[in-house]
Amino acid sequence: MNSRKIIGKSAFFFTVAAMGALTSGSAGALESAIITSAPSYHLVGSNLTNGCVRFYVNGQHDVPAHHGFKLGTVQDNGKLLQASVFAGACGGKAIKTVSFKPSATDSRTIARSSTTVDLYWSVNN
């Protein structure tokens, strides 16, 4: 057999095999991304205390007594969010630290439309 024919057939075979592997691999990656994507929420933090609450969500946000603040978008990925409660102004030693885990089954979840969901986190004394 001619060496050109052998090289040509081998190259064609490996090209087809590589295309098949890439196609099935990208489909698997796309399926994995779809299955593992967590829902996201617009989180609103409310301070129901007489002091200051510092929310550690998308940065650090100090919320004065009896006020609320839009903390941004968070995902339902199982991670706990943290906040610190201070007796007066924010800073110094916190009197309490609280945790919150975003969840679709939370009673504080309110759907505003089919694409926007608000989640409220209220911190009490």
Residues 6+ apart with CB under 8 A from 61: 45, 54, 55, 69, 71
pLDDT score at 22: 47
pLDDT score at 10: 53
Dump pLDDT digits (tens) for 91-107: 999 999 999 888 766 66
Residue 31 CA: distances (Å) to CA of 19, 28, 74, 85: 18, 5, 23, 42
Provide mean pLDDT across the span 79-97. Answer: 94
DSSP string, 55-69: EESSS-EEE-TTEEE
Do the strands 61-63 and 81-86 form a parallel or antiparallel pair, or are they unpaired?
unpaired
Q: How confident is the model at residue 119 (pLDDT cuts 50, 70, 90)?
A: confident
Place of tokens 């603040």: 69
Residue 9 has pLDDT above 60, yes or no: no
Do the strands 96-100 and 81-86 form a parallel or antiparallel pair, or are they unpaired?
antiparallel
pTM: 0.64
Q: How confident is the model at residue 117 (pLDDT cuts 50, 70, 90)?
A: confident
Dump pLDDT digits (tens) for 30-79: 443 444 466 788 899 999 999 999 999 999 999 999 999 999 998 888 88
Best mean pLDDT range from 36-45, 77-86, 107-116: 77-86
Q: Which two tokens stand for residue 79?
A: 């991670």
Residues 6+ apart with CB under 8 A from 103: 76, 109
Residues 6+ apart with CB under 8 A from 96: 84, 85
Give the DSSP H/E element, type plus range, for residue 56. Answer: strand 52-56
